[in-house]
Amino acid sequence: MKPSARQAEESNRTLNRRALLLGGGMGAMIAVLGGRMRYLQVDQADAFQLLAEENRISIRLIPPGRGLIQDRNGKPIAANEQNYRVVITREAAGDVDLVLRRLATIIPMTAEELAATAEEVKSLSAFVPVTVAERLNWTDFSKIALNAPALPGVVPEVGLSRRYPLDFDFAHVVGYVGPVSEKDLEGVENPDPLLRIPKFQIGKIGVEKWMEDTLRGQAGAKRIEVNSAGRVMRELERQEGDPGANIRLTIDADVQNFAQARLGEESAAVVVIDVTNGDIICCVSSPSFDPNLFVRGISHTDYNALTENDHRPLANKAVSGAYPPGSTFKMVTALAALEAGATTEETKVSCPGYIEFGDRRFHCWRRSGHGTVRLERSLAESCDVYYYDIAQKVGIEKIAEMGRKLGLGQRYDIPMSALTEGNMPDKAWKLEKHKQDWRIGDTINASIGQGYVLASPLQLAVMTARIASGRAVVPRLVRMVQDKDVPVAEAPVLDIPAEHLAAVRQGMNAVVNDDAGTAKGSRIVDPMMAMAGKTGTSQVRNISASERDSGVISNDDLPWERRDHALFVGFAPVDAPRYAVAVVVEHGGGGSVAAAPIARDVILRAMSHGLPSLEAYPASQRGRIETMLQELPLRYPVTGMVPIRTKA
């Protein structure tokens, strides 16, 4: 049946309504989609572009392995060990505080450490990785790796850290490393990019500092792909850097350890030099410290214990200590007088126990005097008056000139910290320094190594090496760099007549080997190892006239810090000198009692392949010496001590 007109009209209205609704819905949907597209493509374009860019390639530096430091025989002195650490990068971490709080639930971190790390991260460029913790154990290191998805920007790494296996023995020589500070960067125009890596470690003192460029090496680089969460997706390319060069020193670790042990708790220093080439065989300052504490971050308690110790363990007394050399300086005065013609080997000087100059009396150490004295006896028995007399004839200028010839008053070019120049005074020096004219009394004091004269144990060892060898020996500390010998030129002959040096050496031989010699108790009886030397005692306080009248107070009765310094210099063997030694014992009293025995033991150790033979010692001392040697806290087991031979 055909629909009526009314029905047709109603049907058309329904269709039109549905079409309008459908069209309106479609239009609304299109509008929403268009708006959303505009929002994503226009309004949020920068944000999405940043996210896309964060899935990008990053270049990171690879720190090189630090060069090793070894003793002359290849024993490790400064080595590298694996270091499990964790670093964070701000640009990848996003909310640094949140990530660090999450990290603190995995590894132990104090609130102070969290705050300090967060501050450091925020103070640096966003792309710079910051070390959060290091020297982690394997368990904590593994936990971080497993929780990496929840720790954006956090990367566990395996690096290298410095370790000093011989700790106390080489602390003053080798020094230690520590994080780069702003002070380290002062004055550096174009610093190595490695130095900008937070907590990157460089040498702070000693060989570690002065050979930093050689030991550091060149950085490598790696290209990595990271996602927007900061997680490393893959490593695209790696270019390894060049590790630092290995350095081999001239020092013998066995002799160094023996000397350190022999000094015990004394505030003292020992230096041994090979007179043939200037090699420093031993350079010890006591007491010492553990440099590993500084690498790991020394505590306030440990640091205060070092700085408050009156024996000054942080000071390198061997090269930075400047001491009045006392009677060890008498060889300088003697050689100056011989050269100037102010004395000869046979010149006689009368010693009544003092000389008078003006209204002042200058005393000899032996109150009753030495009687008539010639050069050899003046050295053997250390007569002060002999040197007072000849010094007035020769004058300070020639004495100072001879001192400089023998290596005093100069700083040597070796890679150690705080080397002192000492002081070899003359008239011009006093006028410039004190605005005063030089006086005869100053010359008299200087003639026996007192007054303004100052020298380090290193300088005294050089002086002795030059007297023993007749050559201008220069000390050296570095033997090889990256398996290549450091060339050493033969030292030139000293501009001192050979007969004068021979006369002084004869006097030094008498010091140790004559019955009246001041160091007779420290002689070496093995003729193949016999030692020559000179004792010295330097005052650290003035002795008043009233004290001299009533009797000079014994060192044993004085507080430690007011006692005299004890010194000894020597060389051996006498007939063919190979080693020179210098010992200073701060406030040790007499050089013959405190310093000479140490020097004998150390120089014997240098000449031996193990502990010294007991037959090198006087028979009356062997029992005591054997016990002493066996009780020394040596690092290396030594089986080379030769027992006393007995008849079958």
**Can you give the pTM of this predicted structure?**
0.84
pLDDT, mean of residues 627-644: 71
Strand pairing report for 177-179 and 201-203? antiparallel
pLDDT at 465 over 60: yes
Separation CA 389–CA 391 (nearest Å): 6
At residue 171, the pLDDT reads 97
Q: Which residues are catalytic?
A: 327
At residue 641, the pLDDT reads 47
Strand pairing partners for 349?
373
CATH of 253-607, one of 3.10.450.50, 3.40.630.30, 3.30.365.10, 3.40.710.10: 3.40.710.10
pLDDT, mean of residues 284-308: 93
Element at 158 (helix H, strand E) = strand 154-163
pLDDT at 47 over 60: no
For 500, the token pair is: 């004068």
CB-based contact 198:131 (threshold 8 Å):
yes
Please report the DSSP string for 193-205 in residue order.
GGGGSTT-EEE-S
pLDDT at 23 over 80: no
pLDDT at 230 over 80: no
pLDDT at 368 over 70: yes
At residue 147, the pLDDT reads 82
At residue 503, the pLDDT reads 98
Q: How many residues does the chain have?
A: 648
Residues 6+ apart with CB under 8 A from 484: none
CB-based contact 58:237 (threshold 8 Å):
no
At residue 638, the pLDDT reads 56
Query: In a 3-state reduction of DSSP, which class is residue 378?
Result: helix
For 477, the token pair is: 């500390």
pLDDT at 39 over 80: no
pLDDT per position as a tens digit, 610-626: 889 999 999 999 999 99
At residue 549, the pLDDT reads 53
DSSP secondary-structure letter at 415?
S
Percent of the chain with pLDDT over 70: 85
Separation CA 120–CA 114 (nearest Å): 10
At residue 83, the pLDDT reads 81
pLDDT, mean of residues 492-508: 98
Higher-confidence residue of 272 and 126: namely: 272
Helix ranges (DSSP H) in 180-247? 182-185, 206-210, 212-216
At residue 471, the pLDDT reads 97
User: Structural domain boundaries of the chain?
Assistant: 57-93+102-109+119-184+191-249, 253-607
CB-based contact 210:203 (threshold 8 Å):
yes
SS3 content of the chain, % helix, strand, coil (to 5): 45, 20, 40
Separation CA 454–CA 458 (nearest Å): 12
CB-based contact 399:443 (threshold 8 Å):
yes
pLDDT at 548 over 90: no
CATH architecture classification, 57-93+102-109+119-184+191-249 = Alpha-Beta Complex (3.90)
pLDDT, mean of residues 523-542: 91
How much is the mean pLDDT over the chain? Answer: 87
For 233, the token pair is: 């997706």
Query: In a 3-state reduction of DSSP, which class is residue 589?
Result: coil
Separation CA 442–CA 431 (nearest Å): 13
At residue 547, the pLDDT reads 52
Percent of the chain with pLDDT over 90: 60
